[in-house]
Structure 1
């Protein structure tokens, strides 16, 4: 990787961190305003949105810290660096959302049984302010990157805030124009269900990576077939593909060569195939010269070509 690539990646990471920090500051200010407005007006929708924004402010702070520490270099204890922090942050963010949804639903059920008076004018003003701020924060965070779980988690929280603000505005209008006090808890539950769906998707994806699951769209059998196309390779087995973090795919495999095959040529070809066809940026290839009879047979492979390792990263 060339120096300009390093510079570009550093600038991109710094920009992402700056956006997350701005989002955290704006969300923190707005949650204080919404909490005060919800308390004064008696609106559960506003209080729920403020509670959601409190969790989100903390989540955005975690996302900022995750992005910052993910740039730290590898060390003796963490040979792959800190990149997986983004997955841990995404997983934690999703869990926070489940706790929040449970609290909102319990409070809403209580409101259905015991409706309370609401100052719809105050509720409407605060809800509109929250809606505008959430739109701005979503713009600050930028577009969607499917492979960046850290940013995806942050956008999920802000999108949930945006939906909460829309629900609060709608509930305030219905209460003001129709006197429907039930609209406040009803919209709180509706927004909670929308948040729950997105949180579940993020939780599943983060957990899949943490459990070393095969990346979406990758079939290990197809990886083995493709790698076998390398010159002099007669068999490929023990294939494992996983993700270090969103978008960073890694693999290990055993490749058995014909007696006359050149190990270095085969190694380079396998690594090239994995990068170009499956976007696997880091591959460890075990070169063997005879049949693999059991799991540990790689230890007994030819001494001259016992283990080959590619540490180059493709971008």
Structure 2
């Protein structure tokens, strides 16, 4: 006899309230798009590489925010006969693309900084400081809007990292302006831009690596697969666990399938309830599909 347990339906149940971030995305996109226009205008007026590069970076982040928002909306679409898991995987794809966009933006910033370092140019320090200071506030506020969700959702983490990175770049631009006014160092603008780009690349690499891992159905980093196997083997009546697979359905949802060999005297309904509840409580796995297989040689005494 074979028994199955499916602890999910065709709808999405993300751990974070996805709709609460609609307003955060709308505010973040509007603020950053407006700031891009202001920063690009004044960067062009005062010939500041830091401001122009930061404006380009902010524009890429607006695209990243839009991408993350679209993925969040797509994750709410119900499953159908063509997409039995819905569009949840889109949040992982958005995380990956956001990491790529951010890495490319920092590569561009680094290249421009090297070019400007070879040919330093003067800048209007006061204007640079004022515009970048506004950017610090806007980016910090936008990052704060996604801070709580970034702890549990990789897609929201991508949005948070984008905004936090922008805030850091803007802080660097302010410092460049202050140091220029103080010492008159024309090289300080590209040097600080290089340092900031390096810091952001280091911080973004984890997002890139994790999202790429999940795109190929890798086991989420927060899940200890040996511990999951040990837990299943320790259930009453279970003698063997095989065909165990754990993967991410979305940037915030984890799924599991497994075959468990049990003895003939095992209370299968109770076992399935215990297994799915334990997987939820211990490993945050809410989408578990367990197949029970009768093993005539399996006795209750073999369970731990």
TM-score range, shorter chain: 0.7 to 0.9
Q: Residue 144 of structure 1: CA displacement?
A: 4.8
Residue of structure 1 in register with 2:180 after alignment: 175
TM-score (norm 2): 0.87
Query: Which residue, out of 41, 50, 54, partners 1:49?
Result: 54
Stretches of structure 1 lacking an aligned partner (at least 5 in a row): 1-5, 293-315
- Report the alpha carbon displacement of residue 269 of structure 1 after superposing the two structures with TM: 2.5
* Equivalent of residue 254 in structure 1, options 250, 259, 271: 259
Q: For residue 17 of structure 2, give the secondary structure of its aligned residue in structure 1.
A: helix
Alpha-carbon distance between aligned partners in 1 of 2:201 and 2:250, rounded to the nearest angstrom: 23
Deviation at 1:13, TM superposition (A): 2.1
Output the CA distance in 1 between the equivalents of 2:284 and 2:145.
29
- Aligned residue number for residue 192 of structure 1: 197
Partner residue, 1:308:
none
Residue 256 of structure 1, CA deviation: 0.8
The question of whether the paired residues in 1 share the 8 Å contact of 2:133 and 2:174 is answered with: yes
Structure-2 separation of matches of 1:61 and 1:129: 22
Match of 1:154 among 150, 155, 159: 159
Could you say what secondary structure the match of 2:51 adopts?
Answer: helix
Asked if 1 retains the 8 angstrom alpha-carbon contact of 2:263 and 2:294, the reply is: yes
Residue 17 (str. 1) matches residue 17 (str. 2): no
Alignment TM-score, normalising by the size of structure 1? 0.85
Residue deviations 1:194-226, cap 9 Å, x none?
A: 110121111111112112111224333322221
Describe the superposition over 1:84-118 as per-residue Cα deviations: whole angstroms up to 9, x where unpaired: 21111111011011211121111111111111221
Aligned-partner Cα distance in 1 for 2:77–2:69: 13
Q: Which has the higher contact order (CA 8 A, sep 6+)?
A: 2
Q: Give unmatched runs, 5+ long, in structure 2.
A: 1-10, 298-304
User: Could you say which residue in structure 1 is the equivalent of 2:42?
Assistant: 37
Deviation at 1:62, TM superposition (A): 1.0
Displacement, 1:288?
A: 1.2
What is the aligned-residue RMSD (CA, Å)?
2.2
SS in 2 for 1:177: helix
8 Å contact from structure 2 (residues 79, 87) kept in 1: yes
Matched, 1:26 2:26: no
